Chain A
Amino acid sequence: MEDIVGGWWDRLITRVAYQGHPEAAVTLAEVERTAPVFFRAMGGDAALTVRSAVGTEHGARRRWLERIAGTGDRVELAWQDARSLYLPDVIDHFPDRALNRQLYFWLMALAAEARAGTDWLTANREATARCLMQMPGLAALYRRLVAAHLKTRPDPARLHGAEAAWEEAIRAALASPNETSALPAGQAACQPVPLWLHPTPPLSGQAEAVPRQDGEAEAEEAARREARKRRRYRAQRVAEDTRKNGMLMVFRAESLFTWDEYVKVNRHNDEDEEDNAAAADDMNRLSVSADATTRASRLRFDLDLPAAAYDDTPLGPGLLLPEWHWKQRRLVEDHVRLVPMLPRDARPAGLPERLRAPARRLRRQFQALAPERTRRRGESSGPDIDLDRVVRFLAECGSGVRVGEPGLYQSWPPGERSLACLLLADLSLSTESWVGDAGQVIDVIRDSLLLFGEALSATGDAFGVYGFSSIRRQEVRFQVLKDFSERFDDTVRGRMLAIRPGYYTRMGAAIRQATRVLESQPAHRRLLLIVSDGKPNDLDHYEGRYGVEDTRMAVREARAAGLLPFCVTVDSEAGEYLPYLFGRNGYTVVTNVRRLPQVLTSLYATLTR
């Protein structure tokens, strides 16, 4: 009984004490899609992502009703750190919905203008002044926001001491951001200002989690000191990455040495998740996990080596290829063994039912693309008259020298585009990762290959499809899905359906082999399309700089051989290394993996138009 009455009372008093306007609330989700574009246009750091902020304690005086209800001690404010721009999850400060929505845009504009250095009040006031000076439209909006906000602020006449002085200062700064004013003496917890950025932004979880080699201990110690100093305000968002599951190891506990480091593992929680969320809301500081790299590098071993019987069918003993050693600055001959393979268990198969409709559409589109208009002159029949020849013919007739039966027509036969395309797909284990409800990356790649094949067989262009993965330099597995000489038929489709992800990404060797294959094609223009999902890497030293440099060298060799290498990647961080590998106009990043099939085919159409 007590529980029930208590629950009623809680709901009632919470609702009465609540100061916002839930009926006019605007959520971050509503502006989420426009927010990044807007923030970048305002001059915000393009690398930042937009995330929702969590409430933090403001410590200011509350109304008696709020104190009774035990609410109103937290507020969601905006701030930014090195990785993200944090915006309130919901804004309902104002009774007007439009104004609440515009507050989001104001906060983004302000965050883009914010400079570090001075104290909270001056920094916000100056950033506001800069915004208003550059953007007259925003200035009008700001005046409306301030007018609405000032109504909700406490009256300084009813406050005392430092509190009153601070309130006066905030009001003055809000009303006339262009005028400098002295900071009031003393410390006081002021009523939060939703129009401004967070006075003491919570520590960035990400920045702390990045392991540092040098001065790591000092930095952590400093962060800890900081945390103690301003502990009252600390709350932190911990986002567990549900996609990365910890490794499940079946072992006898006593056989393992003790680890004294914290290893991050996502364990399943039995408790009620909502309770957890509520508890987390109430906590001032959630634990920070700084971890993982050292452990990860030590714990990497081949759990995924299949038994020989289940492995793909190798075609011959393999080819030896060179590899670029960037430190020695030379091409190490015969350094890598590449094994062409056919996927095992590949049975001829038709196109899966769900791909039939898009395939039909693509075929139609690409058939239209196929015949390039090349004029052929001097035909004995054709849709157009060859004016030059008619003129010459008439002139010759006039001069009395009659020459045979000339061809006086022009025609546009389906021209040879003289284009060959080799598609090289990354089939490393990383493609096994999931992309929401679209399934795994490998599924999307498989669909892309099938649709790409359908589209290209409609154009009549010569094309080949290959996949690759690698286990050290001894075995780069080069999957032959469709050779240039083969027709795109059910055998090929079956092979594409049978591809499985596995192992690592020794991209350089695969590109070199693809270059050799494509070089032997007689076509006039030769396009080497690479579909990838991440950086080159392999178990031995083929990671980081070494892999990138070798791949870059392989791309340069391909270009020198007269091919046109182009990379399509689904790795959202590819902007960091792909310009170096493929050049600024040599790659494209597919942000929505599900759209890979469409992007790939439309890319082919535009690239070769």
Chain B
Amino acid sequence: MNAPVSDIVRPLADVPFYQPVAEECTLFEAAWRQQLPVLIKGPTGCGKTRFVAHMAARLSLPLFTVSCHDDLTAADLVGRHLIGAGQTVWCDGPLTRAVREGGICYLDEVVEARKDTTVVLHPLTDDRRILPIERTGEELVAPPGFMLVVSYNPGYQHVLKTLKPSTRQRFVALSFDFPAPEVELPVLMSETGIDAGRARQLVVLAGQLRRLQGYDLEESVSTRLLVYAAKLMMAGLPPGLACRTAIVEPLSDDVDTVAALLAVVDTQFDQG
């Protein structure tokens, strides 16, 4: 368990690309070593999911991702009986599989799940680290490799959909935000192969648009949208059109706001 980092950490070549912004990789690894569950919060498209995939690959752990939604039940996480050939077959859910195999179970947008569902996580997140499976009568003890990671976007204005304090307090929390320009630039270039000049223009454009967050836009342009715009440009589309399709239109439906955003795009990519 306390092996030096170099033994466990895989060479970066096989790992999904992730550009660390601060100490999050070190923190995540430390949490995994100490068997602590992690809560990641941050706006849409800032790299939460990519970060988890990256860390799972770096630590050579299998990753089980569950995208949470309103109808997600505890059985969807833990598992259920299915009818096989004349008999019933127990089928593990993603959470159970992660516990059995000692991997990372990642619950994306966990606030979307019903409150009773998140309660099954409680015994896994304290020092017991057990998963009682009521239907089979099993009680799984999580191996040292197992780690629970949940994420959510705190930006939504939704008073009834937040994590219960009793659930929140079981996690160590990392807060993510859009990366600084000097970090976002290499991300764009390595994700899409776009040249440095246009990547810089995109990053500066993102900075301009992010100033509007909270005033004119509910949520501003994500790194993911910038990557889309860069990909469209790499496919040969004119930059103005690429930005309109990948950045402006997804951000707003309001005609005036769209017009203003297009004017902002024009300050980076002149359309003549």
By a beta-carbon cutoff of 8 Å, the part of chain A in contact with chain B is 33-38, 40-43, 46, 105, 109, 134-141, 373, 375, 387-388, 390-392, 394-395, 525, 527, 564, 566, 585-586, 588, 606-609
Contact B267 A37 (CB under 8 A): no
Q: How many angstroms from the CA of A41 to the CA of B248 in the assembled complex?
A: 13
Contact B81 A34 (CB under 8 A): no
Residues of B within 8 A of A395 (CB): 88
**Nearest chain A CB to B47's CB is how many angstroms away?**
23
Residues of B within 8 A of A46 (CB): 211, 215
One of B4-12, B17-25, B152-160, B225-233 at the interface = B152-160
- Secondary structure dominating the interface of A: helix
Contact B81 A388 (CB under 8 A): yes
A38/B260 contact (C-beta < 8 A), A136-B201, A391-B88 known: yes
* Closest A residue, CB atoms, query B156: A585
**Nearest chain B CB to A580's CB is how many angstroms away?**
16
Can you list 23 A-B pairs, Cβ within 8 angstroms, ordered by A?
A: A34-B259, A34-B260, A36-B216, A36-B260, A40-B211, A41-B211, A41-B261, A41-B264, A42-B264, A46-B211, A105-B263, A105-B266, A135-B204, A136-B269, A137-B266, A137-B270, A139-B270, A387-B82, A394-B83, A394-B88, A588-B157, A607-B157, A609-B160
Contact A43 B83 (CB under 8 A): no
A105/B267 contact (C-beta < 8 A), A37-B260, A566-B159 known: yes
A391/B81 contact (C-beta < 8 A), A135-B204, A137-B269 known: yes
A37/B71 contact (C-beta < 8 A), A42-B267, A585-B159 known: no
**Nearest chain B CB to A114's CB is how many angstroms away?**
16
* Closest A residue, CB atoms, query B84: A391
Given contacts A41-B211, A375-B73, A527-B159, 20 further A-B contacts (CB under 8 A): A33-B256, A34-B256, A37-B212, A37-B215, A38-B260, A40-B211, A42-B267, A105-B263, A136-B269, A137-B201, A137-B266, A137-B268, A140-B270, A140-B272, A141-B266, A141-B267, A388-B75, A391-B81, A607-B159, A609-B160
**Nearest chain B CB to A606's CB is how many angstroms away?**
7
A42/B158 contact (C-beta < 8 A), A136-B201, A388-B81, A388-B135 known: no
Q: How many angstroms from the CA of A140 to the CA of B256 in the assembled complex?
A: 24
Q: How many angstroms from the CA of A392 to the CA of B135 in the assembled complex?
A: 10
Chain B, residues 155-184, CB within 8 Å of chain A (1/0): the string is: 001111100000000000000000000000
In the assembled complex, B257 has its CB within 8 A of some CB on chain A:
yes
The number of residues on chain B lying at the interface, defined by a beta carbon within 8 Å of a beta carbon of chain A, is: 38
Residues of A within 8 A of B270 (CB): 136-141
- Residues from 58 to 107 in B contacting A, C-beta threshold 8 Å: 70-71, 73, 75, 80-83, 88
Residues of A within 8 A of B208 (CB): 41-43
Q: How many angstroms from the CA of A525 to the CA of B162 in the assembled complex?
A: 13
In the assembled complex, B209 has its CB within 8 A of some CB on chain A:
yes
Residues of B within 8 A of A36 (CB): 216, 260
Residues of A within 8 A of B88 (CB): 391, 394-395
A40/B160 contact (C-beta < 8 A), A105-B266, A136-B268 known: no
Residues of A within 8 A of B75 (CB): 388
Contact B80 A586 (CB under 8 A): no
Residues of A within 8 A of B259 (CB): 33-34
* Closest B residue, CB atoms, query A607: B159
Residues of A within 8 A of B73 (CB): 375
By a beta-carbon cutoff of 8 Å, the part of chain B in contact with chain A is 70-71, 73, 75, 80-83, 88, 135, 157-161, 201, 204, 208-209, 211-212, 215-216, 256-257, 259-261, 263-272
* Closest A residue, CB atoms, query B71: A373
Contact A134 B260 (CB under 8 A): no
- The total of interchain contacts (Cβ-Cβ below 8 angstroms) comes to 110
Q: How many angstroms from the CA of A403 to the CA of B160 in the assembled complex?
A: 42
A37/B256 contact (C-beta < 8 A), A42-B208, A391-B83 known: yes
Q: How many angstroms from the CA of A585 to the CA of B111 in the assembled complex?
A: 16
* Closest A residue, CB atoms, query B73: A375
Residues of A within 8 A of B135 (CB): 388
Contact A387 B81 (CB under 8 A): yes
Residues of B within 8 A of A42 (CB): 208, 264, 267
**Nearest chain A CB to B250's CB is how many angstroms away?**
16
**Nearest chain B CB to A380's CB is how many angstroms away?**
21
Across chains A and B, which 6 residue pairs bring their CB atoms closest together, nearest first?
A: A37-B260, A140-B270, A34-B260, A137-B270, A33-B256, A135-B267
Contact B158 A606 (CB under 8 A): yes
**Nearest chain B CB to A305's CB is how many angstroms away?**
38
**Nearest chain B CB to A599's CB is how many angstroms away?**
12
Q: How many angstroms from the CA of A82 to the CA of B215 in the assembled complex?
A: 19
Contact A135 B159 (CB under 8 A): no
* Closest B residue, CB atoms, query A42: B208
Which residue in A41, A109, A135, A139 is a CB contact (below 8 Å) of B260?
Answer: A41
Residues of A within 8 A of B257 (CB): 34, 37
Residues of B within 8 A of A136 (CB): 201, 268-270
Q: How many angstroms from the CA of A38 to the CA of B261 in the assembled complex?
A: 7
**Nearest chain B CB to A376's CB is how many angstroms away?**
13
* Closest A residue, CB atoms, query B204: A134
* Closest B residue, CB atoms, query A608: B160
**Nearest chain B CB to A396's CB is how many angstroms away?**
11
Residues of A within 8 A of B209 (CB): 41
Q: How many angstroms from the CA of A606 to the CA of B158 in the assembled complex?
A: 7
**Nearest chain B CB to A31's CB is how many angstroms away?**
9
Contact A135 B268 (CB under 8 A): yes
Chain A CB within 10 A, most for which of B216, B263, B264: B263
Q: How many angstroms from the CA of A168 to the CA of B162 in the assembled complex?
A: 63
A607/B266 contact (C-beta < 8 A), A33-B256, A37-B261, A136-B201 known: no
Residues of B within 8 A of A387 (CB): 80-83
**Nearest chain A CB to B227's CB is how many angstroms away?**
20
Residues of A within 8 A of B158 (CB): 606-607, 609
**Nearest chain A CB to B55's CB is how many angstroms away?**
29
Contact A585 B260 (CB under 8 A): no
Residues of B within 8 A of A394 (CB): 83, 88
Q: How many angstroms from the CA of A510 to the CA of B204 in the assembled complex?
A: 48
Q: How many angstroms from the CA of A46 to the CA of B216 in the assembled complex?
A: 10
Q: How many angstroms from the CA of A33 to the CA of B260 in the assembled complex?
A: 8
Residues of A within 8 A of B271 (CB): 137
* Closest B residue, CB atoms, query A43: B211
**Nearest chain B CB to A427's CB is how many angstroms away?**
24
**Nearest chain B CB to A105's CB is how many angstroms away?**
5
Which residue in B80, B161, B215 is a CB contact (below 8 Å) of A388?
Answer: B80
Q: How many angstroms from the CA of A125 to the CA of B192 in the assembled complex?
A: 36
Residues of A within 8 A of B212 (CB): 37, 40-41
* Closest B residue, CB atoms, query A133: B204
Contact B159 A564 (CB under 8 A): yes
Residues of A within 8 A of B269 (CB): 136-137
Q: How many angstroms from the CA of A172 to the CA of B208 in the assembled complex?
A: 29
Residues of A within 8 A of B268 (CB): 135-138
**Nearest chain A CB to B78's CB is how many angstroms away?**
12
**Nearest chain A CB to B176's CB is how many angstroms away?**
18
Which residue in A37, A38, A392, A585 is a CB contact (below 8 Å) of B157?
Answer: A585
Q: How many angstroms from the CA of A37 to the CA of B215 in the assembled complex?
A: 8
A40/B215 contact (C-beta < 8 A), A373-B71, A607-B159 known: yes
**Nearest chain B CB to A332's CB is how many angstroms away?**
30
Q: How many angstroms from the CA of A105 to the CA of B160 in the assembled complex?
A: 41
Chain A CB within 10 A, most for which of B71, B257, B261, B264: B264
**Nearest chain A CB to B142's CB is how many angstroms away?**
25
